[in-house]
């Protein structure tokens, strides 16, 4: 739960398959991390019940299996039950982060609007790729500077750091990350808790990094494809 909360997620913990069914029926969750072995109704059976309900009423909540077993065929049994993916225990924090990014709900905002970025650079694709490479190099340090300022309680430094980060993100039309940076900035200015906004911004930055890496790898060919979303 601490790992998930540090990544900016709100977490509900239940201790049985029946409780999962009850909570999932309320339709307010973006993703379920489903323990396979639970008392009464196990994770496989609970997943089948959720999928039956969805087939009748619509919708699809991603369900990720979590199990201490890592035997041949376990992943296939989880997928056959209707689960979307599989994490073996003990959970690795980086694998968890990547899994959550993979199934993050689409907010409707563009991840990377390189067409708009090209217009701002008078169509200079080479310069755009150079700026992307610079941000891949400097972005993690900008984030570390921001985290250090937040942790020290330095409001002025924190505000300046998030402003700098947002300014770079705007160059790429990274609407989701920009919106989250603005939420963090607003929380700081209002003297409100900033932890949730900060936790949501970090995975958004990771998505921007991945999109920029794809753009650099594809070069000019990538710019002939639809923008990332």
CB 131: neighbour CB atoms within 10 A?
17
Query: Which neighbouring-strand residues pair with 87?
Result: 66
pLDDT computed for residue 14 by the predictor: 92
> Would the pLDDT of 228 be above 60?
no
First to last CA, the chain: 28
**List of domains in the chain:** 2-102 (3.40.50.2300), 114-222 (1.20.120)
More confident residue, 196 or 88: 88
* Measured CA distances, 77 to 3, 38, 82, 131 (Å): 27, 16, 9, 45
Give 229's pLDDT tier (boundaries 50, 70, 90).
Answer: very low
Contact 65, 78 (CB under 8 A): yes
> Would the pLDDT of 198 be above 60?
yes
Residues 6+ away with beta carbon under 8 Å from 65: 34, 36, 43, 75, 78, 83, 85, 86, 87
Computed over every residue of the chain, the mean pLDDT equals 84
pLDDT computed for residue 145 by the predictor: 94
Percent of the chain with pLDDT over 90: 29
pLDDT computed for residue 29 by the predictor: 87
Distance CA 141, CA 158 (A): 14
pLDDT computed for residue 220 by the predictor: 57
Global pTM exceeds 0.85:
no
3-state DSSP call for residue 154?
coil
Residue pLDDT, tens place only, 16-59: 999 999 988 887 788 999 999 888 899 999 999 998 888 777 77
Closest CA to 83 of 47, 36, 45: 47
């Amino acid at each position: 739960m601490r790992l998930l909360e540090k990544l900016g997620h709100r977490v509900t913990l239940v201790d049985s398959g029946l409780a999962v069914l009850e909570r999932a029926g309320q339709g307010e969750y973006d993703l379920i991390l489903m323990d396979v072995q639970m008392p009464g109704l196990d994770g496989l059976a609970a997943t089948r019940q959720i999928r039956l309900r969805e087939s009748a009423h619509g919708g699809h909540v991603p369900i990720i299996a979590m199990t201490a077993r890592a035997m041949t065929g376990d992943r296939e049994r989880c997928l056959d039950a209707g689960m979307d993916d599989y994490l073996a225990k003990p959970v690795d924090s980086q694998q968890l982060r990547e899994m959550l990014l993979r199934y993050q709900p689409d907010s409707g905002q563009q991840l990377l609007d390189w067409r708009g970025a090209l217009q701002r650079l008078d169509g200079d694709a080479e310069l755009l790729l150079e700026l992307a490479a610079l941000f891949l190099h400097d972005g993690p340090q900008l984030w570390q500077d921001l985290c250090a300022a937040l942790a020290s309680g330095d409001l002025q430094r924190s505000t300046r750091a998030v402003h700098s980060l947002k300014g770079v993100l705007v160059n790429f039309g990274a609407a989701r990350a920009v919106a989250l940076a603005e939420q963090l900035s607003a929380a700081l200015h209002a003297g409100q808790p900033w932890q949730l906004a900060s936790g949501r911004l970090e995975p958004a930055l990771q998505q921007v990094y991945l999109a920029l890496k794809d753009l650099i790898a594809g070069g000019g060919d990538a710019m002939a494809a639809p923008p990332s979303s």
